[in-house]
Structure 1
Amino acid sequence: MKLFSNSSGRDASGRTDLPSRLVEMATRSVGRSETVMELGLAWTVETRPYVSATRGLARWFGTTDKVVRETVGQNGSTSKYGFLWTKTRGVASPTAEEREQMVIRYSSNARTLDRSTSLKYFSPSPGQEGVGPLGDLALKEGKEKGSKSNAVKSARISERAQEALVKGLETLSELDEISTMGKGQTLLMLDPGLDIWAEVQGDEHRVAVPPLGRRSWHLAVLTGLNDVTLSVLDIEGLLGLSKRGVQVLLARMEKANPVLVQKVRQGRTFLYEIRFASVLRAGGDYWDDAYDRDNIRKARAAKDRAVQEVSARRGTGPGYIAYLLSTANPKRAEYLEANPLPADADPAWVALVQEGDELALYAHLRQQEAEAGPVPSSPEFLPTPVKTQVAEVATPGKPRPAQESSESAEVSPELLAEMRQRISARTYA
């Protein structure tokens, strides 16, 4: 089943208003570090509407299927922080008939926003002084209390952070497709599933470059992948992290790429130049080999194929029996209690069941199938043909031989049993 976007976010032609969705998602995540996982999944759903199922979402988001299941809500409800609406969590089963894919969508608050003028909330009004870059948003609050767009102001971020956020939202408002040309480059590099935003480190997932992590991706989204100069306090307000958390984040980014973060002094204050655009956009250090930036997804795709092979194997008779009797089955004890092995079972089979190795059980069953040979498509002919009597032509003056009575004919019990078996086989073939 396909993932789909909230119908309230579609224009008259039926297309999803992606830029407005991106702006809304970023706005709702300001100062809320706890929402980064839901934000990433929602971002994936909106930018990759063709992605489906738990493993597909995990692969494209750059995480595990366990994290996806823990992040989404229950059937027919929203997630913990309201970014995702779950139609169904899906059902995992060794048999194809019982499987059900996960279906989620971004839970938009568009019904409470004026979508056609959402960007003016984040820009200063002409002729108004002292209002600040979020002046229109503040004026809008007086008219529409409770609007979700108020998340920017309620975050209580500094003026410098507000300026960076406004510029970032303006950039997001222009991103309507992923591409390697023009503005689509920004959306391409903001894909949360790329290896540069991964949490893992080392060679396990064949990461092309030292990963920057989820917090760096969150900051890149809020700033629109623009070059910004911010203090630790500014980043605290934008991401909702503690001072120590921001320091750890900056240290990780600087270690991954010394060109990305530069510490500068401004009066008595230390600021940090974060050069997202210079490093990540076209011509930057991380833009080179952009087509290979999905190494995390490629590694997970290989694991997904292995899982799919296991599912296909379990869909066969021997594979399903091996799964039921193996330790991979969480209900193995219950199944063995309800279906105990016979007292005269083959000792080799009993040993395999006790060990619980699914592949060994499957190989044993397939070997037995090979030794038994294929099932014949049609019954074989009787090995002993039935003798037929040819009637002799009566000649004048010569008596005709008497026919032997059927009652006097003797048929062996073995032949009768074989004939019955043949009749039954043809009847139920």
Structure 2
Amino acid sequence: MNSAHLVDLVTRSVGRSDVLEEQALAHTVITRSYVSATRGLSRWSGVSDRIVRNIVGPTGGLSTDGFLWTKTRGVSSAIAEEREQMSIRYSSNTRTDYRSTSLKDLKPSPSGGQEALGEKEIEGMIKSNAVVSARIPERAREVLVEGLKVLATLTDMDTSTPSGKILTALDPGIDIWAEYEGEKPDYVAYPSLGRRAWSLAVACGLRDVVLSMEDIAALTGLSKRGAQALVKRMDSSYLPLVWKVRQGRSILYEIKWHSCLNDGGDYFESAVLRTEIQRKRAARDAKVQETSARRGTPAGFLAYRLSVVNPKRDEYLEANPLPADADGAWRALVEAGDELALYAHLRAQEAEAGPVPSTPEALVAPSGGAAKGSNNLSPLQAQPAREVDPEELAAMRARIGASTYA
């Protein structure tokens, strides 16, 4: 991965609470450039596939907030040859690799990842960004600068390296950063901190920091009340994450990102390595893909059109009514509208009929039901050629010529 793109993404996202989903999607594209397709991007980033489609722009265009460049939008089709996967790249403001994080453009380092940024490059990116130099309090700016320096050293997702351990903890798709509606699902062990906490952790470079409520609001782009709600949510989690610190008359908050979420912390395994939400989403996607593959066959498509699952079933049956002499078993299946039962019946009929012949000669049935391999000719082949009188043929030619040149 290109750490310059990660630094660029964070500096462009600071103080913008409206870009959380696109930031998570862009983070995934930067760190996992091999991920593609709508459901794959959704599963790895933790953003729903509907939101992914809304965020991503047209082929050759930019996304809603300009973080992503669309190489291929993708096409949905029942035919495998017509299906096309979505492929997106990070659109960077840096002077190099400004459009794509393609693997072929990365310079490998001895550790197997991308070459880390140098100190001068880091300082140049930080100084050139307006967000770092304005609009946020000095303490928040110092925390952000140190966080960016950490992000600039991250080059791979290998958990055996310090870089990989931090990026694993900052993966937006793990359970601790997930967002889910309603009550906590049974398969989730602990309540999550949520997407806003994730964006704050990324801005801090997963370092232990001390911030005021004003600093947290500036870094996340939340209002004061929103920042208070975020701190309360983090404080009420099972992690000993937030600690109040009194500094004179002010109350500050020590957020122990590294102490809790580093690989040596007591809560690393329970917090960082849990991906049950991602696994459930993958299982659901597998069922969707299985259904799409079935409906992509002639039997599956017809079974879907005749099933109660199809919202236009009544319209289809009205335009294509069953014949009066239809088979009773088939009529009962259509009335029941069970898609899988209809599909199984059609597949059984296909198996009984056998494979489609490779040549049309096999479809020409001999007269009298002759067995395969006999020398009997078909009715057309059995008729002898009729001889035409030469004078009759000459008269036919004369009539055709006269009508042509009349």
TM-score of the two chains, using structure 2 as the length reference = 0.76
Is the CA contact 1:226–1:275 (under 8 Å) kept in the aligned structure 2?
yes
Give the CA deviation at 1:373: 6.3
In structure 2, what residue type is equivalent to 1:222?
A: A
In structure 1, what residue type is equivalent to 2:233?
A: R
Give the Cα separation in 1 of the matches to 2:378 and 2:293: 35
Match of 1:41 in 2: 25
Deviations 1:138-158 (A, max 9, x none): xx5xxxxxxxx223345x111
Match of 1:381 in 2: none
Give the CA deviation at 1:118: 4.2
Overall identity of the aligned pairs, in % = 55
2:154 to 175, 179, 197: 175
How is 1:260-409 mapped onto 2 (pairs within 5 angstroms)?
260-288=241-269, 292-329=273-310, 335-336=316-317, 339-346=320-327, 349-350=330-331, 352-353=333-334, 356-369=337-350, 372=352, 374=354
Match of 1:30 in 2: 14
1:65 to 39, 49, 53: 49
Q: Is 1:53 the equivalent of 2:56?
A: no
Q: Rate the CA distance shift 1:238–1:376 in 2: closer, same or farther, 3 A.
A: closer
Match of 1:214 in 2: 195
SS of aligned partner of 1:229 = strand
Q: Is 1:418 the equivalent of 2:369?
A: yes
Give the CA deviation at 1:119: 1.7
Give the Cα separation in 2 of the matches to 1:328 and 1:266: 63
Q: Is 1:189 the equivalent of 2:192?
A: no
SS of aligned partner of 1:183 = helix
Give the CA deviation at 1:331: 5.8
- Runs of 4+ in structure 1 deviating by more than 6 angstroms, as ranges, are 112-116
SS of aligned partner of 2:277 = helix
Give the CA deviation at 1:269: 1.7
Give the Cα separation in 1 of the matches to 2:322 and 2:204: 64
Is the CA contact 2:56–2:68 (under 8 Å) kept in the aligned structure 1?
yes
SS of aligned partner of 1:248 = helix
Give the CA deviation at 1:99: 1.5
C-alpha RMSD of the superposition: 3.2
Match of 1:161 in 2: 140
Match of 1:397 in 2: none
Match of 1:120 in 2: 123
In structure 2, what residue type is equivalent to 1:303?
A: R
Structure 1 unaligned runs (5+)? 1-15, 124-136, 141-148, 379-414
Is the CA contact 2:175–2:271 (under 8 Å) kept in the aligned structure 1?
no
* Corresponding pairs, count: 349
Give the Cα separation in 2 of the matches to 1:113 and 1:94: 36
In structure 1, what residue type is equivalent to 2:279?
A: K
In structure 2, what residue type is equivalent to 1:207?
A: V
Give the Cα separation in 1 of the matches to 2:6 and 2:283: 30
SS of aligned partner of 2:21 = helix
Is the CA contact 1:168–1:225 (under 8 Å) kept in the aligned structure 2?
yes
Match of 2:229 in 1: 248
Give the Cα separation in 2 of the matches to 1:416 and 1:118: 86
Q: Rate the CA distance shift 1:32–1:424 in 2: closer, same or farther, 3 A.
A: farther
Give the Cα separation in 2 of the matches to 1:263 and 1:317: 64
Q: Rate the CA distance shift 1:301–1:231 in 2: closer, same or farther, 3 A.
A: same
Q: Rate the CA distance shift 1:345–1:41 in 2: closer, same or farther, 3 A.
A: same
In structure 1, what residue type is equivalent to 2:222?
A: L
SS of aligned partner of 1:110 = coil
Determine which structure has more spread, i.e. the larger CA radius of gyration. 1
Give the CA deviation at 1:208: 3.6
Give the Cα separation in 1 of the matches to 2:246 and 2:125: 29
In structure 2, what residue type is equivalent to 1:87?
A: K
Is the CA contact 1:95–1:314 (under 8 Å) kept in the aligned structure 2?
no
Is the CA contact 1:205–1:299 (under 8 Å) kept in the aligned structure 2?
no
Is the CA contact 1:122–1:166 (under 8 Å) kept in the aligned structure 2?
no
Give the Cα separation in 2 of the matches to 1:276 and 1:229: 11
TM-score of the two chains, using structure 1 as the length reference = 0.72
